[in-house]
Amino acid sequence: MERSVFYSSQAGRRIDAPRRSRARFAIGDIVKHRNFDFRGVIFDIDPVYANSEEWYEQIPEGQRPDRDQPFYHLLAENEESSYVAYVSQQNLLADTDGEPIDHPQVDQLFEQFSAGRYRLRRSLTH
């Protein structure tokens, strides 16, 4: 398998990743966590785990996801709060509620909500 290296400012190091990653979800998709009661909209995708070692070590050993899969940055919400989450692909499911996300940063990143997903602001696309 061909691999490439990218720098993750969040991890503060270079990350070795497959050249072709198979992300199940896309920026603007609304997802929910498989095990915890929260949902969110994807605003960025890492092809493999690209966060700090400290963050990874905080996950209980029996629940740590494989690093060699896509990880998603979410504007997340539950009944109590809004926050940013970093979640492995194996722990996400498509959200079929069809409802928008009520996160205070949604309007900063996305233009509109239509057909169950968001469209990234044009000023933020390449």
**What pLDDT does residue 10 have?**
60
Cα 81 to the chain's mean position, in Å? Answer: 18
| pTM of the shown model | 0.83
HSE, side-chain direction, 13 A CA sphere, residue 56: 14
Q: How many Cα atoms are found within 13 Å in the side-chain-facing hemisphere of 119?
A: 7
DSSP 8-state code for residue 65: P
**Residue 20 DSSP class:** S
Confidence (pLDDT) at 77: 97
Domain 3-124 falls in which CATH fold? SH3 type barrels. (2.30.30)
Q: How confident is the model at residue 105 (pLDDT cuts 50, 70, 90)?
A: very high
In the predicted structure, residue 8 carries a pLDDT above the cut 90: no
Q: Please state, in angstroms and rounded to a whole number, the distance separating the CA atoms of residues 32 and 34.
A: 6
Q: What is the pLDDT of residue 123?
A: 80
How do the domains of the chain map onto residue ranges?
3-124
Least confident span in 2-11, 27-36, 37-46: 2-11
- Rg from Cα positions in the chain: 15
Confidence of residue 126 (pLDDT cuts 50, 70, 90): low
Long-range interactions of 60-65: CB distance < 8 A, separation 24+: 65/90, 65/91
Q: What is the C-alpha separation between 53 and 55, in angstroms, rounded?
A: 5
Among 18-22, 65-69, 70-74, which stretch is predicted with the lowest mean pLDDT? Answer: 18-22
**Of residues 61 and 21, which shows the higher confidence score?**
61
